[in-house]
Chain A
Amino acid sequence: NAGVTQTPKFQVLKTGQSMTLQCAQDMNHNSMYWYRQDPGMGLRLIYYSASEGTTDKGEVPNGYNVSRLNKREFSLRLESAAPSQTSVYFCASSQGQGWSSYEQYFGPGTRLTVT
């Protein structure tokens, strides 16, 4: 049982390049989330997927797109990377359905640098 896995662990992009961050969970959770964390700050929600087939914007969605590929996988795409997107990206999942009472499980993070 691996929990929440993220790939890649590290990535360096040039401004304007695109990339997709992958996330998968093996806990049969309904809900999945993408956060970013800038140095010395708390996490900010980018997008979330309450259940398979649905996605919604979080606090800071601009510059990102997401795909809930199936129940296990939730990807985050940067179409044209900017230096302001340099951050650590965390994926999380939770059981959902009465979601507010369920804890979130986080992946190890992807450290992205945009030059």
Chain B
Amino acid sequence: DAKTTQPNSMESNEEEPVHLPCNHSTISGTDYIHWYRQLPSQGPEYVIHGLTSNVNNRMASLAIAEDRKSSTLILHRATLRDAAVYYCIRRGGTGGFKTIFGAGTRLFVKA
């Protein structure tokens, strides 16, 4: 199964860090972990991706467990504009091009 498991929703306070977890216990060695987010009434937007090592970019950090069965997207300082649905996706390996989006985690940010 190429799906990942994420909590349905999470809540954060503005200006605080947010850790969004994702479980991908059946991941294969060639699968990349991608994160996208979708703001209301918009198309998904790429956030970050990685294979084995932790990754940082201007938007977020991605922490990948040593066994690669889970990962965490870290938003260092949540803003109201970060309120969105966050999708954790496996790409590659047996899934091929058939990228599977689950229901994602809806992040609520309180002022």
Do A and B share a complex?
Answer: yes
Interface residues of A (CB under 8 A from B): 4, 31, 33, 35, 40-45, 48, 50, 56, 58-59, 90, 92, 99-101, 103-109
Task: For B36, list chain A residues within 8 Å (CB).
Answer: 104
Most buried by A among B30, B97, B100: B97
Complex-state Cα separation, A90 to B36, whole angstroms = 14
Chain B residues close to A by CB (< 8 Å): 30-32, 34, 36, 42-46, 49, 51, 87, 91-93, 97-104
A-B contact count (CB 8 A): 61
Contacts of A33 in B (CB 8 A): 97, 99
In whole angstroms, what is the CA distance A92 to B51 when docked?
Answer: 22
A42 partner, pick from B30, B31, B98, B101, beta carbons under 8 A: B101
Closest beta carbon of chain A to B24's beta carbon, Å: 14
Q: Is the CB of A101 within 8 A of B101?
A: no
Contact yes or no, A109 B43, CB < 8 A: yes
Is there an interface contact between A58 and B49, defined as CB atoms closer than 8 Å? no
A43 close to B44 (CB less than 8 A): yes
